[in-house]
A and B are shown apart, each in its own frame.
Chain A
Amino acid sequence: MNRTRQLHAWLLLLPALAMLAAFTHIPVISTLFNSFYESPIAGKPGQFIGADNFRFVLDDDIFWKVLWNNFWYALITVPASIALSLIMAIWVNSRLSGRAIIRLAYFTPTVLPMIAVANIWLFFYTPEIGLINNLLEALGFEGQNWLGDPDLALPSLMVMTIWKEAGFFMIFYLAALQSMDTSLYEAAAIENAGRWQTFKRITWPLLMPTTLFILINALINAFKLVDHLFILTKGGPNNASNLLLYYIYENAFSFFDTAYAATLTSILLFILALLAWFQFGFLDKKVHYR
């Protein structure tokens, strides 16, 4: 009896396990494995070279630049999109006329594919004919080469990312706000708590589980979403807007240095694991769950 139950359980798990193993676990292991070998050349498998690839990473200026870029990219876009999404959610959760339209408007960037979004923003950012420069010039300011200037390329990407992500996170905040017990707010109102006190002492703590969930997603996205780089900057100029995953892609499929790409991927996985550990191991204990 017990044995057949066990067998049934494993059989039911098998399809999902097989898919996960084929597309997640085995690639992870083979990536780690490959990072200790040379890249295969002309079909000949590469030699075992120990930690040489990792030593090379430490000396690779582009890697450090890309990592630094990604660090700034996450540090700016994650809090900015979370803050913006929370403000939008509180705004569209209040009793205002036409709020369904506003909710839809805020959510629209999310349903667009990243490639389409990048093409729209390419039109905004393009010098000469771009929307932003046309507006600036109409107001008497000088237009900028938004994607061509090394100082402006990464911030321009950040703005677009925040625009794209905030609407998605707003949905989670909105759902959390709508499931809240309104009598808590009435109790706070009777105690004469102002808007800011109510937000600080009630709304924000009760939204923490949602915020943690969004934080995890936003951080993973900051490392994972690079589709827009293909359209907008291709990491340029001079790697000013390059991000870690795009750099891995370049190494693997433009430079065909698969071993180095595997090494960089191992480092990316390590960073993501570290973030996950921090979030679930540390922040999770500080959050009140209902």
Chain B
Amino acid sequence: MGQLDVNSLSKFWDDFTAVDNVSFTVKSGEFVALLGPSGCGKSTTLRMIAGLEMPDNGELFLNGLPITQMSPGQRGLTMVFQSYALFPHLTVQENILFGLQVRKVHREERQRRLKFAVELVDLGEHLHKKPSQLSGGQCQRVALARSIVSEAPLCLMDEPLSNLDAKLRGQMRTELRALQKKLGMTVLYVTHDQTEAMSMADTIILMNSGRIEQTGRPEQLYNQPETTFVAEFIGSPPMNLIDHGKTLTGIRPEHIHISSDSIPPSVHHTVTVVSCDYLGADTVVQVRLDNHFLLVRVPGHQPLASGRTLSISWKKQNELTFCSSRSQRIAPVQNLTFNNNHKAKEPENAA
């Protein structure tokens, strides 16, 4: 198990700044998601930690040891690639054992680790198949097994689930998280999918154009976004932002209610329906308030005709206020009590 420290890491491509002075720490046994839109520098950051790109500035420490100048192999970490990077001419077993053979791990030890990893990811019957004979999910498991047998202190994952179909992705998400907890792996996981980050990570590092926008637990990013970028990136559908000139008011779609009677202190508006998106468990209604469009999440199937007038309301305490020039949140979260039910997450190393 290991701890990774990243100190003011930067990378420039000609005059474009890919990664701008990024610092963070991944604690031992922690699952950290590096989240952000494409081109935000999250993959470049991961590749610099892996040693596949040289940073132009900054330092990396793994368990206190400086690894910035080391070759990828010397760093002793492991990586799961988006494309799995399985060797097509080798069998599943040879793929899993490749690194151990290169590192001259003793034969009995190799077999022990192979057996352990194969049982964990349930690949027993496929050991002698070539990657081309496997499904996407099975290839993913081989790539995972290859990381597990290395017993490296840090496991880097570069969008490992993005090549799977939606159903399998959900399933692998659960398995991956369970596996990480069971083995106590330290994982740094790059993704552009906020669902993956929210559902798996202990800590999310949200990046935007090369810089860290906010770091925190998933519920912190959701409930207390520091900037308008975080507010709009986290959550589906995103937070509504209402422009008041100098300030912006942020309100989550699920905090808006369609009704006139409400308990003060609350905010009332009369709006017109623009469109409805029925999603099964709920319906997302787009409404117009003056010249703003708001999204309202209402439970169940609610086919509201467009053009219809509605009255909506939300509790004042659910509002967030942002400064419109700096895009930063200015008002403190008005009432922190609603956070309590999210804090049920058990502390690390509870055992």
What is A's interface to B at a CB cutoff of 8 Å? 181, 183-184, 186-193, 197, 201-202, 205-206, 288, 290
Q: How far is the CA of A183 from the CA of B50 in the complex (A)?
A: 12
Q: Is the CB of B77 within 8 A of A190?
A: yes
From B71, B83, B87, residue with most partner A Cβ within 10 Å: B87
A197 to B79, CA, bound (A): 19
Least CB distance from A95 to B in Å reads 13
Contact A189 B72 (CB under 8 A): yes
B102→A190 contact, CB < 8 A: no
A188 CA / B85 CA spacing, docked (Å): 9
A190-B89 in contact (CB<8A): no
The answer on a CB contact under 8 Å between A181 and B83 is yes
B73 within 8 A of partner (CB): yes
Query: For chain B residues 46-89, which have a beta carbon within 8 Å of chain A?
Result: 50-52, 71-75, 77-79, 81-83, 85, 87-89
In the bound complex, residues from chain A placing their C-beta under 8 Å from that of B71 are: 189, 192
**Is there an interface contact between B103 and A191, defined as CB atoms closer than 8 Å?**
yes
Question: Among the listed B73, B83, B87, which residue makes an inter-chain contact with A189, where contact means beta carbons less than 8 Å apart?
Answer: B73
Contact B102 A197 (CB under 8 A): yes
Q: Are B73 and A192 in contact (CB under 8 A)?
A: yes
State how many residues of chain B have any CB contact under 8 Å with chain A. Answer: 25
Cβ contacts under 8 Å, A192 to chain B:
71-74, 99, 102-103
Q: State whether A190 touches B83 (Cβ < 8 A).
A: no
A-B interface, 7 closest residue pairs, ranked by CB to CB distance from nearest: A192-B73, A191-B99, A288-B89, A187-B85, A183-B85, A189-B72, A205-B89
Q: Is the CB of A181 within 8 A of B85?
A: yes
Q: Which residue among A181, A183, A184, A187 has the maximum number of chain B CB atoms within 10 Å of its CB?
A: A187
Q: Kindly state the separation between the CA atoms of A188 and B79 in the bound complex, as whole angstroms.
A: 10
Number of residue pairs spanning A and B whose beta carbons lie under 8 angstroms apart:
64
In the complex, which residues of chain A have a beta carbon less than 8 angstroms from the beta carbon of B81?
183, 186-187
Known contacts A191-B103, A192-B103; can you find 19 more A-B pairs with CB under 8 A? Answer: A181-B85, A183-B83, A184-B85, A186-B50, A186-B52, A186-B81, A187-B79, A188-B98, A189-B52, A189-B73, A190-B51, A190-B77, A190-B79, A190-B99, A191-B98, A191-B102, A192-B72, A192-B99, A206-B88
- B291-334: CB near A (< 8 Å → 1, else 0) gives 00000000000000000000000000000000000000000000
Which chain B residues lie closer than 8 Å to A187 at the CB level? 79, 81, 85, 87
**17 A–B contacts, CB within 8 A, in A order:** A183-B85, A186-B52, A186-B79, A186-B81, A186-B85, A188-B98, A189-B51, A189-B73, A190-B51, A190-B52, A190-B73, A190-B77, A193-B73, A193-B99, A193-B102, A206-B88, A288-B130
Residues of chain A lying within 8 A (CB to CB) of residue B82: 183
- Complex Cα distance, B85 from A266, in Å, reads 49
Docked complex Cα distance between A186 and B52 (Å) = 7
- Chain A residues with Cβ below 8 Å from B79 are 186-187, 190
Assess the A290–B74 pair: CB atoms within 8 A: no
Q: In residues 87-143 of chain B, which contact A (Cβ within 8 Å)?
A: 87-89, 98-99, 102-103, 130, 132
Is there an interface contact between A190 and B74, defined as CB atoms closer than 8 Å? no
In the complex, residue of chain A having the shortest beta-carbon distance to the beta carbon of B47: A186
CB distance from B158 to the nearest CB of A (A): 9
Residue of A nearest to B74 (CB): A192
Q: How many angstroms from the CA of A65 to the CA of B234 in the assembled complex?
A: 81
Establish whether residues A190 and B87, one from each chain, have CB atoms under 8 Å apart when the complex forms: no
- Asked if residues B88 and A190 are in contact (CB atoms below 8 Å), the reply is no
Contact partners of B103 in chain A: CB under 8 A: 191-192
Contacting residues, chain A, for B77 (C-beta < 8 A): 190
